[in-house]
Structure 1
């Protein structure tokens, strides 16, 4: 068996175990809306299933006889149901909102308590210690408000507790600071007073928590500024590209130096693969893999907020494990750190995020199995 097939099968097993768990079944039974409009999109924003998968699912005989294809179909159906019931950022599945702009539901106390119980089993609530004592590199994921600061602080805490972090990478993006209420700047000004975007927040967090000095910013794309669309941007022909801010098309980095001048790591800023929207976690993972050029078997620790661990682990498996053979471990801090709310709406929303990431991961794994099988 080739290593590619072995990794793809591992992915299939992990997705199956999570998506078909009793906790997921209970959650779906607990929160279930009736689809108001059959024409309402359920895929995220302008995402589409690959045509080869559509054709494969249309082959009823194979779809019913192949357990992996049945899993794909089941996961797609799960995502459709979750998009109806768990989506509090975009109730029409097309309007884009950031997480801080989500709406509220009218759940009773018993339902809310049961949602917490199910999502805890699915991995969204209880922090876990890193699986290993040492890693070759640590990826601290970006975010808004105090998330960059707290995630970097958590990484520093893990290091003080004896976890070897290896080389540090802070993964950000050119996402602008939110100005609508609740606005970011009143929160971020305490640690990043001059920040204009998420990349600036990550750099400031590295300075605050690891005492690292940022070096001059470099354009990985070869441009001189962000004032115009990057000519090397690979998504310029896709729908929505005409509306994308020019800042979202560039890739940047800055080295992070210790007091003695040695480099401890880097902060990087990804371009978007989903115009006209901001870059996401998957974009930053993909840029990091090209930027760091890791080798198969290296151990990667991903640091985030616990509620995001399932979806960001699936993203890490898709971008780092499946194509590059990296060992990916994802950890996060709990709600007691005050980063994100631990309410029913937020937990359901991030369960939907994890389902979507699991589906993308599974589709890529099936593509590997078809190509190498």
Structure 2
């Protein structure tokens, strides 16, 4: 992080952790909040060409901070496996990876967590999604294809903020937990895309770990094995920098919840 900040002309301050995260939040808002500059556009709409030096710094930081590649689950047995929703392609990829994990691990309940975000025309053009209209529809199509005859519920969470147009990751965790009632001793495995692991893991600890005292592991699929394949630019430097910012903000929220 120190090297990344330096590449963008900054220097980390010498302060405590809350102060550092606050500083990083402001710095990342200025330099890496590409979605904000587009009025909160969906992640697949972000396209920012960076100078080669800055792009290289962003990719190096993403690899060092855990936003690239996949990770193996830390345990062989989980009480719950949660498949997170997102862009339509990600819904299919995460469901596919979750099914492979479920075949290799001992897993209790499985659930997919999504929202009613409308799909774009590009998302509906993906094979098998022509009749899908929302993220939850795409997630349902993904789990049907990946799990075959095993019924996997798709939970559609309402937004926690009445002014928001759709649920965010934290909202979906809260909605699932209200019905599943996880507890101490439970282990939860969250499946997402590699680039979102740090921020969605922080949110899972804040919403599920702290409140319900359960263990959390969060893993991303292997981009080399993704089905359907990853499109060009899915892990480009601009996307990585945007999600480093997401991780900073999620870590800041987690620290506030702890303290």
Give the Cα separation in 2 of the matches to 1:314 and 1:293: 20
Equivalent residue for 1:273, pick from 160, 163, 168: 160
| 1:300 Cα deviation from its structure 2 partner | 0.2
Given that 1:138 and 1:169 are in contact with CA atoms closer than 8 Å, whether structure 2 keeps it comes out as yes
| 1:277 Cα deviation from its structure 2 partner | 2.9
List runs of 5+ in structure 2 lacking aligned partners.
none
Aligned residues: 250
| Match status 1:299 vs 2:183 | no
The answer for the alignment partner of 1:203 in structure 2 is 140
The answer for the alignment partner of 2:175 in structure 1 is 287
| Match status 1:356 vs 2:249 | yes
| 1:166 Cα deviation from its structure 2 partner | 1.9
The answer for the alignment partner of 1:79 in structure 2 is 25
Q: Secondary structure at the match of 1:177?
A: coil
Given that 1:32 and 1:85 are in contact with CA atoms closer than 8 Å, whether structure 2 keeps it comes out as no
Give the Cα separation in 2 of the matches to 1:330 and 1:295: 18
Length-normalised TM-score, structure 2? 0.90
The answer for the alignment partner of 2:125 in structure 1 is 186
Q: Superposition pairs for residues 158-173 of structure 1, below 5 Å?
A: 158-160=101-103, 162-173=104-115
RMSD: 1.9
Q: Secondary structure at the match of 2:145?
A: helix
Give the Cα separation in 1 of the matches to 2:230 and 2:83: 15
Q: Aligned pair in 2 of structure 1 residues 359, 329: CA closer, same or farther (>3 Å)? A: same
| 1:114 Cα deviation from its structure 2 partner | 2.9
Give the Cα separation in 1 of the matches to 2:2 and 2:201: 21
| Match status 1:344 vs 2:232 | no
| 1:293 Cα deviation from its structure 2 partner | 1.0
| Match status 1:141 vs 2:84 | yes
Give the Cα separation in 2 of the matches to 1:159 and 1:289: 20
Give the Cα separation in 1 of the matches to 2:27 and 2:153: 40
Give the Cα separation in 1 of the matches to 2:50 and 2:215: 41
Q: Superposition pairs for residues 31-50 of structure 1, below 5 Å?
A: 31-32=8-9
Given that 1:138 and 1:166 are in contact with CA atoms closer than 8 Å, whether structure 2 keeps it comes out as yes
Q: Aligned pair in 2 of structure 1 residues 339, 318: CA closer, same or farther (>3 Å)? A: farther
Give the Cα separation in 2 of the matches to 1:90 and 1:158: 35
Q: Aligned pair in 2 of structure 1 residues 339, 280: CA closer, same or farther (>3 Å)? A: farther
| 1:265 Cα deviation from its structure 2 partner | 4.0
Q: Which has the higher contact order (CA 8 A, sep 6+)?
A: 2
Q: Aligned pair in 2 of structure 1 residues 32, 348: CA closer, same or farther (>3 Å)? A: farther
List runs of 5+ in structure 1 lacking aligned partners.
1-23, 34-63, 213-257, 259-263, 367-373
Bigger radius of gyration, 1 or 2?
A: 1
Name segments (4+ residues, structure 1) moved above 6 Å.
none
Q: Secondary structure at the match of 2:125?
A: helix
Give the Cα separation in 1 of the matches to 2:107 and 2:64: 27
Length-normalised TM-score, structure 1? 0.64
| 1:330 Cα deviation from its structure 2 partner | 0.2
Give the Cα separation in 2 of the matches to 1:331 and 1:32: 32
| Deviation readout 1:167-206 (Å, 9 max, x if unpaired) | 1100011111124xxx21112xx22332111111111111
